[in-house]
Amino acid sequence: MKLKFLGTGTSQGVPVIGCTCEVCTSKNPKDTRFRASAMVTTDENKKILIDCGPDFRQQMLINQENHIDIALLTHEHNDH
């Protein structure tokens, strides 16, 4: 089984629009984070998406994921 983090940012994403903190104004690409989401790949190669938000398309393209078998929403939230 394999777990891949697709996003580790807040529900607003990072950088946050209008925020002037050190992280949100950073030019370091590591400080740009998509909203929280993950992909589990089982030993049988089944793909389980955990939480799906507005960054879903970009997350799938960047991580070269081309299908999902199951989508699991862990909680109700504005971003998914």
Assigned domain for 79 exists: no
Tell me what pLDDT residue 80 has. 58
Assigned domain for 31 exists: yes
Assigned domain for 33 exists: yes
Whole-prediction pTM value? 0.83
Each residue of 21-69: pLDDT tens digit? Answer: 999 999 999 999 999 999 999 999 999 999 998 999 999 999 999 999 9
Helices (H), 1-80: 56-62
Assigned domain for 77 exists: no
Q: How many folded domains does the chain comprise?
A: 1
Assigned domain for 23 exists: yes
Assigned domain for 42 exists: yes
Show the 3-state SS of 37-48.
Answer: EEEEECCCCCEE
Domain that holds residue 39: 2-72
Cβ count near 59 (within 10 Å): 22
Query: Residue 79 above 70 pLDDT?
Result: no
